[in-house]
Amino acid sequence: MTSQLAPLASRLGHYARLFARRAYREAHSVRSQYPTLYFPIEQLLHPDRRHICVSPQHDLVIEGYPRSSNSFTVAAFHQAQTKNFRVAHHLHAPAQIIRACKLGIPCLVLVRRPRDAVLSCWIHTPEWSLAFLIRDYIRFYKSILPYSDGFVVATLEQTTTDLGSVIRRLNTKFESNFELFDHTDDNSNQVFRSMEEKHMKRLGRIDNKRISRPTIERNSLKADLISQLENPRLSKALRRADYLFESLCSLSA
């Protein structure tokens, strides 16, 4: 009898763990909109990430929704500099942007088309539902729109083809003196190599579903999965996400 119940217990345990992870991620999505709530909890749960949480000592914030060229932009920015600037990045939390604006710290907000960002996140972490990921995307960008005077916006296409112009816009807006990234093939490839080295150090192998650069495998999966976004239950939320994207793109010229 016990052996017969074991598979059922295993499945129940799996679903309980999945429910707990999804509940935690939903709570994280909500609290990440509020700096006074987000940062104390984040620094308590992840003290090793304090150095990437924005503070008055930082020179720049680079932040965006996951899978929106965050890793490439941060790596390429650092590669271009001869001075060691302190950059807050990779929290994927609107609270980071809001606090940067309130502190008057130069801030670069990265944005990607919602369908592409959501599908890339889903491939990276398939346990999150598409409905949640779209909802999370909307929360992220809706909460920062009131602070748009305090940041520069760059699309994924801009950061991956002409990051030098993006940095120039930062310098113009904030009267900063960041050095420009010369967006040649050689420099871009050097950035990708450094990203691969960090990925290998963290995972011990190259995972083409998770590495922060384009891969043939992930592009193929996205082509297979894009029909999932045609679900009528997602259409209203996707329209809201598209509207936010277009609103932010109007700030990226």
pLDDT of amino acid 124: 84
Q: Which two three-digit tokens encode residue 213?
A: 């650069």
Distance CA 174, CA 100 (A): 12
Q: Which residues pair with 88 in a beta bridge?
A: 61
Q: What pTM did the predictor assign?
A: 0.88
| Stretch among 56-60, 81-85, 129-133, 194-198 having the lowest mean pLDDT | 194-198
What average pLDDT score do residues 130-143 get? 96
**For residue 229, what pLDDT is reported?**
87
Name the average pLDDT for the chain.
89
On the question of pLDDT at 224 being above 90, the answer is no
Q: What are the two backbone dihedrals, phi and then psi, of residue 60, each rounded to the nearest 5 degrees?
A: -160, 150
Type of residue numbered 64: G
Q: How far apart are CA 28 and CA 31, in angstroms?
A: 5
Answer whether 110's CB lies under 8 Å from 63's CB.
yes
Domains of the chain (ranges, CATH numbers): 32-249 (3.40.50)
- Residue 181, classified by CB atoms within 10 Å of its CB into exposed (0-12), middle (13-18) or buried (19+), is buried
Q: Are 119 and 226 in contact (CB under 8 A)?
A: yes
Q: Which of 66-70, 124-128, 169-173, 203-207 has the lowest mean pLDDT?
A: 203-207
Is the pLDDT higher at 152 or at 213? 152
Quickly state the pLDDT bin for 207 (edges 50, 70, 90).
Answer: low
Q: Which of 116, 124, 91 is nearest to 245 (CA)?
A: 116
Higher pLDDT residue, 243 or 202?
243
Please report which residue ranges of the chain form alpha helices under DSSP H.
2-31, 35-45, 70-80, 94-103, 114-124, 130-144, 156-161, 163-174, 185-203, 216-225, 232-249
